Amino acid sequence: MPKPERPTSALCDHDEAAVRYRGRDLVEELIGKLSFTEVLMLQILGRLPGAPERRMMDAILVTLMEHGLTPSAITTRLVYHSAPEAMQGAVAAGLLAVGSQFVGTMENAALLLREIREDPAGLEPAARRVAESYRAERRAIPGFGHHLHKPDDPRAKRLLELAREEGQAGSQVEALEILGHAVDAAAGRHVTVNATGAIAAILGDMGVPPELMRGFALVSRAAGLVSHVGEERERPSARFIWDLVEGAIPSEGGKRR
Amino acid sequence: MPKPERPTSALCDHDEAAVRYRGRDLVEELIGKLSFTEVLMLQILGRLPGAPERRMMDAILVTLMEHGLTPSAITTRLVYHSAPEAMQGAVAAGLLAVGSQFVGTMENAALLLREIREDPAGLEPAARRVAESYRAERRAIPGFGHHLHKPDDPRAKRLLELAREEGQAGSQVEALEILGHAVDAAAGRHVTVNATGAIAAILGDMGVPPELMRGFALVSRAAGLVSHVGEERERPSARFIWDLVEGAIPSEGGKRR
Amino acid sequence: MPKPERPTSALCDHDEAAVRYRGRDLVEELIGKLSFTEVLMLQILGRLPGAPERRMMDAILVTLMEHGLTPSAITTRLVYHSAPEAMQGAVAAGLLAVGSQFVGTMENAALLLREIREDPAGLEPAARRVAESYRAERRAIPGFGHHLHKPDDPRAKRLLELAREEGQAGSQVEALEILGHAVDAAAGRHVTVNATGAIAAILGDMGVPPELMRGFALVSRAAGLVSHVGEERERPSARFIWDLVEGAIPSEGGKRR
Amino acid sequence: MPKPERPTSALCDHDEAAVRYRGRDLVEELIGKLSFTEVLMLQILGRLPGAPERRMMDAILVTLMEHGLTPSAITTRLVYHSAPEAMQGAVAAGLLAVGSQFVGTMENAALLLREIREDPAGLEPAARRVAESYRAERRAIPGFGHHLHKPDDPRAKRLLELAREEGQAGSQVEALEILGHAVDAAAGRHVTVNATGAIAAILGDMGVPPELMRGFALVSRAAGLVSHVGEERERPSARFIWDLVEGAIPSEGGKRR
């Protein structure tokens, strides 16, 4: 195996008197001058956003923060109750639930938009082909449908509207809309674009690669999970949850198996 | 054991048409109107900040995001290399290093400030007593000293300055300063307040309980770790780190033990 | 700061033709010759056990594997449902619940036994003093009491019996028994030694430092959690748990707060 | 969405006087009677093994425990150093590195063996086809090759030998051997079966589904990582590793980017 080349890092350097993030002096140029969202974009995307793009990112992060007692929030509360000595463990455990099945569907939605945009047949025929083949196989289309929010996911609607207002809607948002029409036509009824579908398209138009999109959910959900830790400290729910679950799922221990 | 009471949650509720965070409509009142930092404060602290407090929180979050190839960043890179199918695992693993020894010293600094402020002897005598007893026991004082940043941690200086500019410096920042004088006097030389010491005092003045302070580091460091994942995807370092460490730490396998 | 000395590791070395664990050839001396439990003891304790000690360790590990739908098992199931692409995340999340409140009480029980054994007043007076002071402060004594198993935790009883049968009961088991009498006397009724109390004493007599005891629970519980992943694959419970919890914990989103 | 059916669990039940694992009384039937490995198989596979199968499982678990300063071990050491208050965090972080790239290749090897065995063309033509197509695409074949162990991975050789000795080699081990001949022929030289390839075949012959195989690595590696925590407590390496890595990877902070 060849020796791996010596890597370098552009993210941060420091000496006795200074810390720099991507070459910018933390104390002189960032603290007190830029918001968390701006510096997050500097570090993850490698560039400082203008105000419209920053507002768009704020909107995305705000949207991803909370959805009540989801698996990640329940997890954080149970782990915090069991190991209050280490709240990092509770937050980390909750983040481990930010996986392929819910938030992580962003990636698949983004990959689908890429497929449509790269189809030499053109956007509309490609969208029609995709919508019909998923329909035929009775598979859920990534970025579409929501078990709760019907007929429309209000978050998706507002995010796409904001993207247009802020001049952040590009070719991926356009592809999502064309796909939306094709999905409705194939289903014979309206199917909502969901929040992760809208976010996938908008982040794509910002230049975020699909494989990194989940990262924004991790940051934002970390904030949500910290607020669950804070609430759990004041109004504990974990013991109640434990009893509830244990009582509701019968064991079959009486029989040998 | 008494049955635990039925808990409730104030963080989020949702129905078909809406999602609300602490009673505020996500789509109508938050998306496109408030920044991530503002909504994070709404959720964790239970109130919306004014502009000065929001700027202060942005400054704190920006400061906690990065410090180069720390244990948490190395961890995230190694885990991402091993399990790229699940970037949530890489970020969660890195956050597990946000513990009591580095960032988590915030808690101990905040508890020390509380002790000084509650001492009936008064702030200055209490500060002197604490500084001298740590000195006598040769223990590091939480919130003071830094292995790299000397004579002053530039981040701490700037954050405390900003706290005064923004009207966010209250009784805990005052206690920190008095403790600082006592520490210098006891040591016979200047010992820097470090970034976690400054942040502990400022967050304390915002009303954050010591046990929740680590939460802000988790959110901010999550952003830093996502940027390390992004860089690792483009310029891999993990295989290099693995070889480096394995080559530098000799095993003693030849001998029975 | 002084440069840290170059560390070494005695756990494993390898070259093209061989892997050695603590100097023993994996292929020639371990595979097919020793059980998992024996090699685990070799690696963690630095010595191979005899048969009685190995049987004792097997009994401890077997006891720690399962207790039904505990916070750790619920966590693993929820995370697996959310991120089936990475079962390591589900198991890791569950292990994060092996903390100070349940299994981790072993450490506190072991520290209490140490305190009693080192008391110059002698075992019985020390045990009496400890039992009475916890009683006066109405605090739970680490290693005693169980919310479910009354009057006796059957696991603790059997483990202590086995320790005597196998010649593994030493001065810490003795201290636990003396403490048990004192606890009963102070309470005016029988209070059970629980499983973690018994295990703390027995591991202590094997020479395991209190701070490492939790490690045996982590290994054993990992096996339990893998079996929960296996069952979750065949009879999913996570969606049911999510709905159950969400339905049972009302949100208070209607009101501003 | 249809309401999910009420799930049940066969793994464990308990009442005041007893705990049962898959219907077997923990105290009467398991503690002191069965080894950890046997009970682990009872819980994960749903059946108690005979002695040959148990010896085989012990050998597999022993093999997966250690390989020195791997990413998972380095991770555990760094996280333990940063958060010694919670060793569960250190072990969990290390397990998060048991992913698709190293140990997790078991799954892909098992899926490949399934593909060959189900090929209507027959084992040998299927093996030839697979070996040649990977060769043509210059892809690594899951279960074959090792960057260190050449020409043969001694662990794989011994495990396969043991499988035959213990009567545990079935149709999947046979398929692996036939694939091995095809791989050698396609490469024009000997390519070693590696440990994960051998384990995939043997676990497959025990009836373990590919998607659960990683679980055995998690249990065994948990033991290895606990031994790394134990060694880190006595001979700290984390600060040395941190300095080493930080010193070896230059930052590029001088330049704006």
pLDDT tens digits, one per residue of B142-158 = 999 998 888 899 999 99
Q: What phi-psi label fits residue A46: left (phi over 0), alpha (psi between -120 and 50 degrees) or beta?
A: left
pLDDT above 80: residue B257: no
Q: Which chains touch C (3 or more CB pairs under 8 A)?
A: A, B, D
Q: Do A252 and D7 touch (CB under 8 A)?
A: no
| pLDDT score, position C227 | 98
Please list every residue in chain D whose beta carbon sits closer than 8 Å to the beta carbon of residue A257.
10, 22-23, 46
pLDDT confidence of residue A257: 36
Residue D2 scores a pLDDT above 70: no
**CB distance D25 to D18 below 8 Å:** yes
Using alpha carbons, list the distances in angstroms from residue D118 to A24, D113, D134, D169, D182.
58, 9, 18, 18, 17
Of C11, C36, C43, the CB nearest to D37: C36
Q: Quick check: C9 and B250 CB within 8 A? A: yes
What is the DSSP annotation of C89-128?
HHHHHHHTT-STTTTTHHHHHHHHHHHHHH-TT-HHHHHH
Chain D nearest-CA residue for B251: D68
Q: Nearest-CA distance from B120 to chain D in Å?
A: 32
Task: Give the per-residue pLDDT at C255.
Answer: 42
Using pLDDT thresholds of 50, 70 and 90, give the confidence band for residue B255: very low
State whether C246 and A68 contact (CB < 8 Å): yes
- Rounded CA-CA distance A86/B119 in Å is 28
Count how many pairs of residues, chain A against chain D, have C-beta atoms within 8 Å.
Answer: 92
Smallest Cβ distance to D219: which of C15, C34, C226? C226
- With an 8 Å Cβ cutoff, are A44 and B226 in contact? yes
Contact flag A6-D92 (C-beta cutoff 8 Å): no
Residue C122 CA to residue C94 CA, distance in Å, equals: 41
Q: Average model confidence (pLDDT) for chain D?
A: 94
Q: Sheet containing D12-14: which strands, arranged edge to edge?
A: D12-14, D19-21, D24-25
Tokens 């199931």 -> residue: C77
Residue with tokens 């249809």: D2
Whether B75 sits inside 8 A of D72 (CB atoms) is no
Determine if the pTM surpasses 0.90: yes
Q: What are phi and psi of B8, to 5 degrees?
A: -130, 170
- Residue B2 pLDDT > 60, yes or no? no
Check pLDDT > 50 for residue D255.
Answer: no
Strand partners, D9: A251
Q: What is the pLDDT of residue D156?
A: 97
Reading across the β-sheet that carries C24-25, which strands appear in turn? C12-14, C19-21, C24-25
pLDDT at B256: 39
Residue D147, pLDDT score = 84
**B107 phi/psi in degrees, rounded to 5:** -60, -50
Interface of C with A (CB under 8 A): 68-72, 74-75, 78-79, 81-86, 89-90, 92-93, 96-102, 104, 237-238, 240-242, 244-246, 248-249, 251
Contact call for residues A68 and B12 (beta carbons, < 8 A): yes
C-chain CB neighbours of D37 within 8 Å are 35-37
* pLDDT tens, position by position, C161-182: 999 999 999 999 999 999 999 9
- What is the reported pLDDT for D257? 36
Omega prior to C151 cis, within 30 of 0: yes
Q: Shortest CA distance to C160 belongs to which of C189, C180, C140? A: C180
- A22 and D83: CB-CB below 8 Å? no
In this prediction, residue B103 carries a pLDDT of 83
What CA–CA distance (Å, rounded) separates A155 from A40? 22
Please name the member of D89, D100, D248 whose beta carbon is closest to the beta carbon of B96. D89
pLDDT of residue C3: 63
Q: Is the pLDDT assigned to residue D4 strictly greater than 80?
A: no
Please indicate whether, in this complex, the C-beta atoms of B84 and D104 are within 8 angstroms of each other.
no
Average per-residue pLDDT in chain B? 94
* Residues 6+ positions from C66 with CB-CB distance below 8 Å: C224, C227, D11, D12, D19, D21, D43
Closest CA to D6 of C90, A251, C75, A147: A251
Calculate what percentage of chain D has a pLDDT beyond 70.
Answer: 96
Residues of D in contact with B72 (CB under 8 A): 82
Report whether C72 contacts C232 (CB < 8 A): no
Chain D CB contacts of C219 below 8 Å: 219, 222-223, 226
Q: Which of A43, A67, A97 sits opposite B14 (nearest CB)?
A: A67
Nearest to C79 by CA among A218, A78, D214, A96: A96
pLDDT recorded at residue C2:
57
Ranges of residues in chain A with a pLDDT under 50 are 1, 255-257
> What sign does the CA torsion over C127, C132, C135, C136 have?
negative
Residues of A in contact with D23 (CB under 8 A): 252-257
Summarize pLDDT for D153-206 with one digit per residue, the tens.
999 999 999 999 999 999 999 999 999 999 999 999 999 999 999 999 999 999
- Subunit contact C12:B257, Cβ cutoff 8 A: no
Q: Residue D123 CB: number of other CB atoms within 10 A?
A: 17
> Under 8 Å CB-to-CB from D256, ≥6 apart: which residues?
A22, A23, A24
Q: Is C185 exposed, middle or buried (0-12, 13-18, 19+ CB in 10 A)?
A: middle
pLDDT of residue C256: 39
Considering Cα of C159, then C161, then C167, then C169, what sign does the dihedral take?
positive
User: Are the CB atoms for A18 and A26 separated by under 8 Å?
Assistant: yes
Q: Pick from A11, A23, A256: which is nearest to D255 by CB?
A: A23
Q: Do the Cβ atoms of A253 and D20 come within 8 Å?
A: yes
User: Residues A142, A178: contact at Cβ < 8 Å?
Assistant: no
What's the confidence (pLDDT) of residue B253?
54
H-assigned helices in D166-213: 171-187, 195-205
Which residue, chain included where needed, has tokens 């950890």? D36
pLDDT tens track for A61-117: 999 999 999 999 999 999 999 999 999 999 999 999 999 998 888 999 999 999 999
pLDDT of residue B150: 84
Nearest CA in chain D to A252: D10
Q: What is the pLDDT of residue A244?
A: 97
Residues B47-60 have a mean pLDDT of 98
| Residue D5: band (very low, low, confident or very high) from pLDDT cuts 50, 70, 90 | confident
Contacts of residue B257 in chain C, CB cutoff 8 Å? Answer: 10, 22-23, 46
Give the chain D residue whose CA is nearest to the CA of A14.
D253
What pLDDT does A174 receive? 97
Confidence band (pLDDT; 50, 70, 90) for D103? confident
Chain D residues in contact with B102 by the CB 8 A cut-off are 82
Q: Rg for chain B (alpha carbons), in Å?
A: 22
B–D CB contacts, 8 A cutoff, strictly below: 129
Above 50 in pLDDT, residue D256?
no
Question: B4 CB contacts (<8 Å, ≥6 apart)?
Answer: A236, A239, A240, A243
User: Cβ distance D106 to D196 under 8 Å?
Assistant: yes
* pLDDT in single tens digits along all 257 residues of chain C: 456 678 999 999 999 889 999 999 999 999 999 999 999 999 999 999 999 999 999 999 999 999 999 999 999 999 999 999 999 999 999 999 999 998 888 999 999 999 999 999 999 999 999 999 999 999 999 999 998 888 899 999 999 999 999 999 999 999 999 999 999 999 999 999 999 999 999 999 999 999 999 999 999 999 999 999 999 999 999 999 999 999 999 988 554 33
What local confidence, expressed as pLDDT, does residue D170 receive? 96
A 10 A CB-CB count for D85 gives 17
Cβ separation B78–D74 shorter than 8 A:
yes
C-alpha triplet A48, A53, A58: angle, nearest 5°: 100
Distance (Å) from the alpha carbon of C254 to chain D's nearest alpha carbon: 26
DSSP A137-158: TTPPPTTB--SSS-S--HHHHH
ipTM field? 0.96
> Average pLDDT, whole number, for chain C?
94
Taking CA atoms, D175 is separated from D19, D125, D179, in Å, by: 42, 11, 6
Chain A residues with CB under 8 Å of a chain D CB are 1, 6-14, 20, 22-24, 46, 83, 85-86, 88-89, 92, 147, 248-257
